[in-house]
């Protein structure tokens, strides 16, 4: 018996500035995401890593 192949897709989102980064984190959390990593102190690439309600990680970062 063959088992189906499971494909994992990671969705990363870019935002134009730190203010939008905060707005999008708050929006994601209001929809049930939870914060896994706060790297907003990185001057070169501030970002958040969050997980959706099912536990799948995704990033929001300034680019």
Query: Domain for residue 4, yes or no?
Result: no
Quick check: is 40 in a domain? yes
Judge whether 24 lies within some domain. Answer: yes
Range of the domain at 33: 12-62
What tens digit of pLDDT does each residue of 16-44 get?
Answer: 999 999 999 999 999 999 999 999 999 99
pLDDT-based confidence at 55, cuts 50/70/90?
A: very high
Question: Does residue 25 lie in a domain region?
Answer: yes
Percent of the chain with pLDDT over 90: 83
Number of domains in the chain: 1
Write down the pLDDT at residue 3: 80
Q: Which residues pair with 61 in a beta bridge?
A: 14, 47
Sheet holding 34-39, edge to edge: 12-15, 57-62, 47-51, 34-39
User: What's 34's domain CATH number?
Assistant: 3.30.720
Residue 16 has a pLDDT of: 97
For residue 1, being part of any structural domain is answered with no
């Amino acid at each position: 018996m063959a088992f189906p192949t499971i494909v994992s897709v990671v969705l990363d989102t870019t935002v134009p500035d730190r203010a939008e980064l905060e707005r999008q984190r708050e929006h994601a959390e209001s929809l049930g995401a939870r914060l896994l990593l706060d790297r907003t102190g990185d001057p070169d690439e501030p970002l958040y890593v969050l997980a959706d309600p099912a536990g799948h990680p995704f990033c929001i970062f300034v680019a």
